[in-house]
């Protein structure tokens, strides 16, 4: 298939943008990405969004954004896969270029949580669970993750502070990320004293919902403008997988099959093995998700993902740097835009422009976004081109 390269990136600061609308956030990221790509004109727009119809009372987001960005006439669709929406939109953009049907595509992830407040937000987020058997019972995504984490701690004898390093690492890495919602490191004692949100999940085990938009311009290498000076990054592997929507239907709820399947397929396509991956952008919407992804992908043995983090292996100078720009915990969780932010941050690393967070010699990255508790998983291998 055609080699797919990322020619441009753009992103807004993640936070509570009360004064900025959905279309304005998306436009800012789209405009920046096009400029970064040397002004390449797209033929298609793929939007990753999770909750615009619920929170912003806005469906048909693809047409909305092409209109507002002055791109009317091009193909435009919205992709929804809960928290994996951004990753799924990136995969659709990748497939469009790889197939040869599209020469230049824009992938944009956008979410606007602050269009609603309080219970309405929680109700909207709960739509990503099984409506008939989970949401109808009052199950929230945080409560669901808490049950998962409690069972994991019980089966694997995890101490109360066993997940602390996921939060400590994310917040340490978020300090130098000017687009992150939280840019202050935390100490172990701060984590230990944190307020419980849904036992055993405390406020540092859950990523904050936030507004934001991120965008990528995808194309073929031969279409790159001659004056473009950005180091090129290619999408070497792309794969997605799905599982049961409800946790209770899983044979083993403490193993994320989709994370294993999609990562395995993406790595096989790229021709790389685990030891060749220089950093991993996991989906740390909850600390337990990060631990289970480390295990499913194969970086840690089953039941020891927490220990992998506790031993310091996920830090910038560890065996496997993770959440290198703060992850969802410190950068914030912009819903359907999260997977696109992962890609933008990985490209920044691979371009060698992560500044204080730069991983020396990094050429290969794995990014993985999840919809719910890995009901959907989308994985991409990104590589720096010579």
Closest CA to 240 of 262, 265, 270: 262
What is the C-alpha separation between 268 and 321, in angstroms, rounded?
21
Spell out the residues 6+ positions from residue 322 whose beta carbon is closer than 8 angstroms to its own: 169, 279, 280, 281, 282, 284, 290, 294, 309, 314
> Same CATH fold, 137-207+236-384 and 5-118+209-223?
yes
Spell out the residues 6+ positions from residue 189 whose beta carbon is closer than 8 angstroms to its own: none
What was the pLDDT predicted at 71?
97
Report which DSSP code applies to 382: E
Going residue by residue through the chain (386 aa), what tens digit of pLDDT does each one get?
Answer: 789 999 999 999 999 999 999 999 999 999 999 999 999 999 999 999 999 999 999 999 999 999 999 999 999 999 999 999 999 999 999 999 999 999 999 999 999 999 999 999 999 999 999 999 998 888 999 999 999 999 999 999 999 999 999 999 999 999 999 999 999 999 999 999 999 999 999 999 999 999 999 999 999 999 999 889 899 999 999 999 999 999 999 999 999 999 999 999 999 999 999 999 999 999 999 999 999 999 999 999 999 999 999 999 999 999 999 999 999 999 999 999 999 999 999 999 999 999 999 999 999 999 999 999 999 999 999 999 98
Report which DSSP code applies to 321: -
Element at 198 (helix H, strand E): strand 196-198
This prediction has a pTM of: 0.97
Element at 109 (helix H, strand E): strand 104-111
Tokens of 21: 């609308």
In CATH, the number for domain 5-118+209-223 is: 3.40.47.10
What was the pLDDT predicted at 42?
98
SS3 143: helix
> Residue 78, preceding bond cis, omega within 30 degrees?
no
Domain boundaries, the chain: 5-118+209-223, 137-207+236-384
What was the pLDDT predicted at 97?
98
What was the pLDDT predicted at 9?
98
- Number of residues in the chain: 386
In CATH, the number for domain 137-207+236-384 is: 3.40.47.10
Q: What are phi and psi of 95, to 5 degrees?
A: -65, -35
Tokens of 280: 């991993």
């Amino acid at each position: 298939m055609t080699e797919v390269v990322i020619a441009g990136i753009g992103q807004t600061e993640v936070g509570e943008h009360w004064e900025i609308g959905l279309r304005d956030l998306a436009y800012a990221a789209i405009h920046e990405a096009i400029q970064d790509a040397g002004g390449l004109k797209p033929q298609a727009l793929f939007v990753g969004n999770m909750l615009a119809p619920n929170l912003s009372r806005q469906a048909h987001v693809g047409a909305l954004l092409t209109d507002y960005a002055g791109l009317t006439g091009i193909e435009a669709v919205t992709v929804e896969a809960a928290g994996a929406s951004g990753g799924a939109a990136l995969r659709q953009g990748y497939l469009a270029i790889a197939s040869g049907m599209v020469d230049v595509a824009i992938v944009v992830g956008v979410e606007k949580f602050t269009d609603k407040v309080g219970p309405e937000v929680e109700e909207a987020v709960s739509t990503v669970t099984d409506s008939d058997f989970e949401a109808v019972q009052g199950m929230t995504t945080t409560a669901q993750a808490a049950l998962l984490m409690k069972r994991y701690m019980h089966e694997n004898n995890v101490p109360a502070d066993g997940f602390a390093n996921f939060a400590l690492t994310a917040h340490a890495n978020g300090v130098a990320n000017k687009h992150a919602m939280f840019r202050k490191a935390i100490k172990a004692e701060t984590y230990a004293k944190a307020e419980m949100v849904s036992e055993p999940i405390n406020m540092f085990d859950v990523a904050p919902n936030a507004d934001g938009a991120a965008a990528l311009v995808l194309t073929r290498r031969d279409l790159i403008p001659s004056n473009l000076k950005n180091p090129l990054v290619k999408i070497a592997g792309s794969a997605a997988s799905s599982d049961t929507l409800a946790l209770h239907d899983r044979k083993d709820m403490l193993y994320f099959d989709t994370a294993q399947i999609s990562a395995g397929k993406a790595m096989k396509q790229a021709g790389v093995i685990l030891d060749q991956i220089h950093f991993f952008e996991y989906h740390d919407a909850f600390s337990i998700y990060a631990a289970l992804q480390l295990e499913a992908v194969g970086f840690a043995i089953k039941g020891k993902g927490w220990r992998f983090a506790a031993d310091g292996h996920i830090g910038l100078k560890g065996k496997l740097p993770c959440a290198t720009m703060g992850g969802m915990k410190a950068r914030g969780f912009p819903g359907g835009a999260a997977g696109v932010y992962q890609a933008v941050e990985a490209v920044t690393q691979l371009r060698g422009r992560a500044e204080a967070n730069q991983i020396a010699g990094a050429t290969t990255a794995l990014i993985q976004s999840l919809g719910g508790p890995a009901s959907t998983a989308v994985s991409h291998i990104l590589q720096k081109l010579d």
